């Protein structure tokens, strides 16, 4: 996978992507709550691919959430990385399926009944994109409670370089 890395504000990508789901959220009475670190947060990654990752995760969260629920998208900065979390309070993933959700074409029995249109490729593609960036994606889920996907990205070094230059003055 060839990446076109650039420094960009992940917060605005998250806001833009979340806004594309307004209609579907309204239909299911689902709210999207954003808890983003700072006004802007710059990462170094392939903007189009990361937008695809966020889109896939939010799309799944909506698909498997109950009506009248909330999806939370949160960013946290730790150890020079940014962690992005997409958490729903939906149907959850059965324990026996959790290790296979990133496999190509895999769909849990629950998702097969819920959405016959899905290909089972979204999470596989999502993991490939994150791994191509040299980063990780993890899933935490409890059946009947909800699911959280967390992935990491490298923070932009440009901001750090600007700080270093100012320190020398």
69 domain-assigned: yes
Residue 120: HSE in the Cβ half-sphere, 13 Å Cα cutoff: 15
CA distances from 119 to 96, 111, 132, 154, 167 (A): 20, 11, 22, 30, 52
User: What are phi and psi for residue 28, nearest 5 degrees?
Assistant: -95, 0
Q: Does residue 169 fall inside a structural domain?
A: no
Give me the domain span that covers residue 66: 5-164
Whether residue 149 contacts residue 139, with contact meaning beta carbons closer than 8 Å, is answered with yes
Q: Is residue 85 part of a domain?
A: yes
- Total of domains in the chain: 1
Q: Write the pLDDT tens digit of every residue in 109-136.
A: 544 444 445 556 789 899 999 999 999 9
pLDDT tens digit at each of 169 positions of the chain: 899 999 999 999 999 999 999 999 999 999 999 999 988 999 999 999 999 999 999 999 999 999 999 999 999 999 989 999 999 998 898 888 888 888 776 566 544 444 445 556 789 899 999 999 999 999 999 998 999 999 999 999 865 444 333 333 3
CATH number for the domain harbouring residue 135: 3.30.565.10
* Nearest alpha-carbon partner for 81 in 56, 52, 57, 45: 45
β-strands 5-9, 70-78 pairing: unpaired
Element containing residue 147 per DSSP (H, E): strand 146-154
pTM, to two decimals: 0.85
């Amino acid at each position: 996978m060839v990446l076109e890395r650039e420094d960009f504000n992940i917060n605005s990508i998250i806001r833009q992507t979340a806004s594309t789901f307004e209609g579907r959220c309204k239909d299911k009475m689902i709210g999207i709550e954003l808890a983003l670190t700072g006004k802007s947060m710059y990462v170094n990654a392939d903007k189009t691919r990361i937008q695809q990752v966020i889109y896939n995760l939010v799309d799944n969260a909506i698909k498997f959430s109950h009506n009248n629920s909330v999806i939370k998208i949160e960013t946290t900065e730790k150890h020079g990385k940014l962690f992005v979390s997409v958490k729903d309070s939906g149907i959850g993933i059965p324990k026996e399926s959790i290790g296979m959700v990133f496999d190509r074409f895999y769909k849990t029995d629950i998702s097969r009944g819920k959405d016959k249109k899905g290909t089972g490729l979204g999470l596989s593609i999502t993991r490939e994109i994150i791994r191509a960036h040299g980063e990780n994606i993890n899933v935490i889920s409890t059946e009947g409670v909800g699911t959280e996907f967390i992935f990491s990205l490298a923070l932009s070094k440009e901001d750090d370089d600007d700080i270093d230059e100012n320190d020398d003055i």
